[in-house]
Amino acid sequence: MTMRRASTLATSVLSNTLANAHGGVGASTVHHRLLQVALFCSSSTTNSYTHRRWFSPFFSSSSSGSARGVCLGLAGALASVATAASLSQSVYAKEPLPSEVVPKDVILYQYEACPFCNKVKAFLDYYDIPYRVVEVNPISKKEIKWSDYKKVPILMVDGEQLVDSSAIIDQLSVKLLSEKSINSASDEDEEKKWRGWVDNHLVHVLSPNIYRNTSEALESFDYITKQGNFSFSQKITVKYAGAAAMYFVSKNLKKKYNITDERAALYEAAETWVNALNGREFLGGSKPNLADLAVYGVLRPIRYLTSGKDMVENTRIGDWYTRMEKLVGESSRIKV
């Protein structure tokens, strides 16, 4: 019975402390609570005697001094765990915006597998901006017949239409992030450089990889048709006809962008990005900037396809991607 009580108390203290650490309780508060845990063992009150009796299996052969040492050691261990959890939470946390600047009605017209759409979603998800998703049928495009702009992504923000992924992110940044942080000119130049690299290089490496051969082309279109807005008959047609068509299109893309070995090009791009990090957790330092979100966004649709798995296994990008996935992975979207 005493061992059970001791175990229950220790488990309760640990779980409550970790919960409070993750909930934003300051480190000093956490340490104060843990110090109380340590000190109750040496108190002279009746209640502390009862507490000490719960831990009697640990103290039965110990002097009062060593018993106090055990308690302090336990509190110290718990404090270390709580502090580590708190620090981890502060480093790897989304950046929600002040409620007064969050748009009231955001609708994203997209293709689920589109890298440019995923760039926009990465931004929305990271900043915890709730949004609705309308999956566009790429054949009929009936969902965007109301718009003069016939490509995706289209983002409606409180009735205003924004188009083109990079332009969307630029406009949202000006509206929502202008007072959030002030970057140095060199930081802004670096961020701009790598956002341009994403649009002008990285995205062009993806198609030759996901349609590299017939099996990977079928794998890609299986994902596209499962995630996309297609009727049953369209799914069958698009999967096989689309895979065959894109297999040949990818060969032309290789020539257009001077790619001789598609996997080598993908690995080189991944390593180029890791080199740009230069030992930092993110290009933005301790937290992602817009370039981090752009790279993550365009890679997200391929991550668990064969090409994405190969990329992670054969380059150093995996650690960065995992950090980004933990931060951005929880979506704020509501699919309609």
Active site residue 111: yes
- The CA distances from residue 177 to 111, 286, 298, 299, 325, in Å, are 26, 17, 22, 24, 22
**Residue 108, beta-bridge partner list:** 133, 155
Task: Find the catalytic residue in 58, 111, 247, 282.
Answer: 111
First to last CA, the chain: 54
> How far is CA 96 from its chain centroid?
13
Task: Find the catalytic residue in 55, 58, 114, 296.
Answer: 114
Locus of tokens 């790619």: 259
Instruction: For residue 96, say if its preceding peptide bond is cis, omega within 30 degrees of 0.
Output: no
Nearest Cα to Cα of residue 106 among 154, 158, 161, 160: 158
> How far is CA 318 from its chain centroid?
13
User: What letters, b where the CB count within 10 A reaches 16 and e where it falls short, cover 89-99?
Assistant: eeeeebeeeee
Active site residue 114: yes
Active site residue 232: no
Cβ(133)–Cβ(155) below 8 Å: no
**Residue 154, beta-bridge partner list:** 109, 163
User: Helix or strand or coil: residue 131?
Assistant: strand
Active site residue 71: no
Order of strands, edge to edge, in the sheet holding 160-163?
160-163, 154-157, 106-110, 131-135, 333-335
Which residues are catalytic, by number?
Answer: 111, 114, 116-117
